[in-house]
């Protein structure tokens, strides 16, 4: 793992209309790392991902991605810069087939996974290429949502609760997938409520409370700090 | 003379032809409206006026510049589309964050302004435009006589409708449009310049109206109200077909043209209201329209 900071977020504030959701988030993600944002419902984890992409009505602070300031950039500029976004609702388009969903995001840089590789990793997506995207099961939709940003050459993937609402066997499958993604050199910023899942995936964890990072925990310290974390996460 | 349902066959076929011609215009215009509404959520009341502008541009190209019909067939939609691009960038885009009524009111105002300007310039009776010589004359089909230009309009409209349907349903650009219709911010996060896509979609939609205007120029009198005469029916077509449905707009356009044509034969007084009667029935039975998906 290199020490180069791929994503450096400093003092990130975000607002929805009048409500102030992020109050100065500070964290970084290094190249090749898998980092999670842990926290209770409503702590601001999903909003952090949206604020990085520029998908909130108002934000301030600094979002440096590979040395480039994105705080004033439109969402398509962040996408073009090489950040792949997988939203919490998965964002599968009902009016598009599975194949069209997969091929939709434009290629933003060389080095993305080939469609053949993606189909090897997700055989279901090849079998059901012609079905409507939303006819897939929840787990398949999640895989499609991740698969389509692997194709584009994006180097940093923002995954918002990929295991939410999925059966344990599917969660395991998603876990293997993220492991494979890491082996292929992608950098991942993961929002997770599933503490157990997060602990198997990530190198480091940031604990988020009330729109701020309150603690950083390397994964190897997790066992010794599990009790206090469970208390703080309310699980 | 051959009779069908107690009516002379030539009359019936004549009305069928007229119905398909009208249906061609309904289809082309409602197609543009449906595309624009789908992506921009703007009910473009200026659509009829832009159709009229297309017809006047066709006339103007010939009258002032000596540019003939065949060039106008491509040039007029481009000019109207470019004008649409200016309207979208200069005015309409400021209504996206507001209630849907603001876009409707703005485009309604634009329609009145355009019609007023052309009435000032050319009078309300308008000008006349002769189609290309090669398309004059009639064709004997055996059971009826078909004016060649009318046949050309039907074929051209059908081809354009198919091309638009194909682009939207079968190409990558179409997939982007459909996706942006559902979830524009996610499409933008993927790296697509959605504001530009929206502007070009508006331009493309009104270019279709411009194209319909070229086809209409030799057929109807080119006058400032030719669009508003048509647009009420076209809005009914869009509602019947289902807002935002491309295939639905095309089929409903042609279908209602034909229904209107036959009503003219069997009960002429009803011909101007039949479309709205159909609309009322469809809205009662299927509020989302024949081809629309329930929201």
Separation in Å, CA A177 to CA A121, A184, B218, B242? 8, 11, 63, 41
Which of A85, A95, A103 is opposite residue B189, by nearest beta carbon? A85
Residues paired with A84 in a beta bridge = A157
- Chain A residues in contact with B185 by the CB 8 A cut-off are 55, 75
Contact of A35 with A29, CB cutoff 8 Å: yes
pLDDT at residue number B154:
94
Q: What residue in A sits closest to B293 (Cα-Cα)? A: A95
Q: Which residues on A lie below 8 Å from B187 (Cβ)?
A: 104
Q: Which tokens go with B194?
A: 């959605």
Chain A closest-CA separation from residue B243 CA (Å): 14
The CATH homologous superfamily of the domain defined by A5-233? P-loop containing nucleotide triphosphate hydrolases (3.40.50.300)
Cβ contact (<8 Å) for A79 and B183? no
Q: What is the DSSP string of B80-137?
A: HHHHHHHHHHHTGGGGTTS-HHHHHHHHHHHHHHHHHHHHHHH-TT-B-----GGG-S
Judged by DSSP in three states, A86 sits in strand
Distance, in Å, from the CA atom of A8 to the CA atom of A168, rounded to the nearest integer, reads 33
* pLDDT digit string, tens, across residues A134-178: 888 888 999 999 999 999 999 999 999 999 888 898 898 888 888
Give the whole-angstrom CA distance, residue A76 versus residue B191.
4
Block residue for tokens 């100065």? A24
The Cα of B5 is separated from the nearest Cα of chain A by a number of Å equal to 43
The CB-side HSE value for B255 (13 A sphere, CA atoms) comes to 14
Alpha-carbon distance of B53 to B222, in angstroms, equals 9
Residues of chain B contacting residue A87, judged by C-beta atoms under 8 Å apart: 186
- The confidence score (pLDDT) of residue A235 equals 61
pLDDT value at position B177? 92
Contact (CB<8Å) A103/B183: no
Please tell me if residue A24 touches chain B, with a CB cutoff of 8 Å.
Answer: no
Residues from chain A that touch B182, judged by Cβ atoms under 8 A, are 93-95
Cross-chain Cβ contact B191/A79 below 8 Å: yes
Query: pLDDT tens track of chain A, all 235 residues?
Result: 445 789 999 999 999 988 999 999 999 999 999 999 998 888 999 999 999 999 999 999 999 999 999 999 999 999 999 999 999 999 999 989 999 999 999 999 998 888 998 888 888 888 888 888 888 888 899 999 999 999 999 999 999 999 988 889 889 888 888 888 898 889 999 998 888 888 888 999 999 999 999 999 998 888 888 888 888 877 6
Nearest CB to B190; choose among A95, A96, A105 = A105
Q: Which of B179, B182, B188 sits opposite A75 (nearest CB)?
A: B188
Q: Which two tokens stand for residue A95?
A: 């009016």
The candidate with the shortest Cα–Cα distance to B262, out of B24, B1, B7, is B7
What CA–CA distance (Å, rounded) separates A71 from A65?
10
Q: Residue with structure tokens 């982007």? A: B176
Q: What's the length of chain B?
A: 295
Stretch 176-235 of chain A: residues touching chain B, C-beta under 8 Å: none
Q: Which residues contact B76 (CB under 8 A, 6 or more apart)?
A: B54, B57, B58, B61, B210, B211, B213, B214
Selected for mutation to probe chain A from B191, B248, B293 (highest A CB count within 10 Å) is: B191
Q: Which residue of A has its CA nearest to B195?
A: A76
- Scan for tokens 């004997």, then name that residue: B140
Report the C-alpha gap between B174 and B197 in whole angstroms.
11
A173 near B CB under 8 A: no
Q: What domains can you pick out in chain B, each with its CATH number?
A: 19-285 (1.10.3470)
> Do residue B190 and residue A103 have CB atoms under 8 angstroms apart?
no
Residues in chain B closer than 8 A to A152 (CB atoms): 190-191
Residue A104 has its nearest CB partner, among B176, B185, B188, at B176
In chain B, residues with a C-beta closer than 8 Å to the C-beta of A106 are: 190-192
Q: What is residue A10's predicted lDDT score, i.e. its pLDDT?
A: 95
**Cβ neighbours of A63 in B, within 8 Å:** none
Token representation of residue A85:
């976004």
B183 contact residues in A (CB cutoff 8 A)? 91, 93
pLDDT of residue A1: 43
Give A49→chain B minimum CA distance, Å. 11
Structure tokens, A103 = 């091929």
From B175, B181, B189, residue closest to A100, measured CB to CB: B175
Residue of B nearest to A54 (CA): B189
**Separation in Å, CA of A81 to nearest CA in chain B:** 8
Nearest Cα of chain A lies from the Cα of B183 at a distance, in angstroms, of 8
Q: What distance in Å separates the CA atoms of residue B198 and residue B163, rounded to the nearest whole number?
A: 19
Map residue A116 onto helix, strand or coil: helix
Query: What are the structure tokens assigned to B116, written together?
Result: 């007023």
The parts of chain B modelled with pLDDT lower than 50 are 295
Q: Could you read off the pLDDT of B90-118 as tens digits, one per residue?
A: 999 999 888 989 999 999 999 999 999 99
| Helix B172-182 with B148-170: angle, nearest 10 deg | 70
The total of other beta-carbon atoms located within 10 Å of residue B26's CB is 30
Phi first, then psi, for residue B81 (nearest 5°) are: -65, -40
Residues of chain B with C-beta less than 8 angstroms from the C-beta of A54: 189
User: Tens digits of per-residue pLDDT, B124-172?
Assistant: 888 888 888 888 888 887 777 888 899 999 999 999 999 999 999 999 9
C-beta atoms surrounding A30 within 10 Å: 17
């Amino acid at each position: 793992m290199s020490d180069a900071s791929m994503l450096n977020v400093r003092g990130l504030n975000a607002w929805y209309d009048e409500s102030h959701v992020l109050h100065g988030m500070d964290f970084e993600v290094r190249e090749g790392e898998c980092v999670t944002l842990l926290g209770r419902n409503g702590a601001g984890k999903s909003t952090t991902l949206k604020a990085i992409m520029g998908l909130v009505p108002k934000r301030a602070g600094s979002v440096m991605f590979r040395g480039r300031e994105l705080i004033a950039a439109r969402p398509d500029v962040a996408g073009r810069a090489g950040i792949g976004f997988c939203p919490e609702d998965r964002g599968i388009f009902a009016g598009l087939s599975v194949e069209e969903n997969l091929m939709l995001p434009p290629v933003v840089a060389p080095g993305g996974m080939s469609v053949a590789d993606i189909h090897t990793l997700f055989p279901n997506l090849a079998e059901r290429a012609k079905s409507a995207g939303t006819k897939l099961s929840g787990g398949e939709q999640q895989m499609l949502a991740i698969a389509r940003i692997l194709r584009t050459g994006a180097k940093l993937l923002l995954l918002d609760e990929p295991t939410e609402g999925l059966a344990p066997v599917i969660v395991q499958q998603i876990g293997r997938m993220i492991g494979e993604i890491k082996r292929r050199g992608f950098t991942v910023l993961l929002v997770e409520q599933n503490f157990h899942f997060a602990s198997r995936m990530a190198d480091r964890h940031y604990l988020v409370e009330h729109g701020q990072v309150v603690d950083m925990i390397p994964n190897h310290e997790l066992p010794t700090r599990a009790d206090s974390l469970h208390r703080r996460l309310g699980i | 003379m051959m009779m069908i349902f107690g009516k002379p066959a030539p009359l019936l076929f004549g009305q069928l032809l007229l119905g398909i011609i009208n249906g061609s215009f309904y289809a082309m215009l409602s197609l543009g409206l449906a595309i624009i509404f789908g992506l921009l959520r703007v009910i473009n009341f200026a659509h009829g006026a832009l159709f009229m502008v297309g017809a006047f541009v066709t006339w103007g190209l010939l009258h002032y510049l000596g540019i003939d019909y065949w060039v106008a067939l491509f040039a007029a939609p481009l000019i109207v589309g470019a004008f649409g691009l200016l309207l979208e960038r200069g005015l309409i885009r400021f209504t996206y964050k507001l209630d849907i009524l603001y876009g409707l009111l703005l485009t309604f105002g634009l329609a009145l302004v355009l019609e007023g300007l052309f009435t000032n310039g050319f009078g309300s009776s308008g000008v006349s435009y002769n189609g290309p010589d090669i398309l004059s004359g009639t064709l004997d089909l055996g059971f009826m006589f078909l004016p060649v230009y009318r046949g050309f309009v039907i074929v051209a409209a059908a081809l354009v409708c198919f091309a638009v349907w194909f682009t939207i349903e079968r190409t990558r650009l179409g997939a982007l449009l459909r996706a942006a219709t559902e979830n524009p911010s996610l499409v933008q996060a993927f790296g697509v310049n959605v504001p530009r896509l929206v502007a070009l979609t508006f331009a493309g939609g009104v270019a279709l109206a411009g194209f319909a205007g070229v086809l209409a120029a030799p057929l109807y009198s080119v006058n400032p109200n030719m669009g508003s005469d048509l647009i009420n029916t076209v809005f009914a077509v869009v509602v019947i077909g289902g807002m935002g449905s491309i295939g639905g707009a095309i089929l409903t356009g042609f279908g209602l043209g034909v229904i209107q044509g036959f009503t003219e034969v069997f009960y002429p007084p009803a011909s101007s209201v039949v479309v709205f009667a159909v609309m009322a029935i469809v809205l009662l039975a299927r509020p989302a329209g024949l081809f629309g998906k329930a929201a």
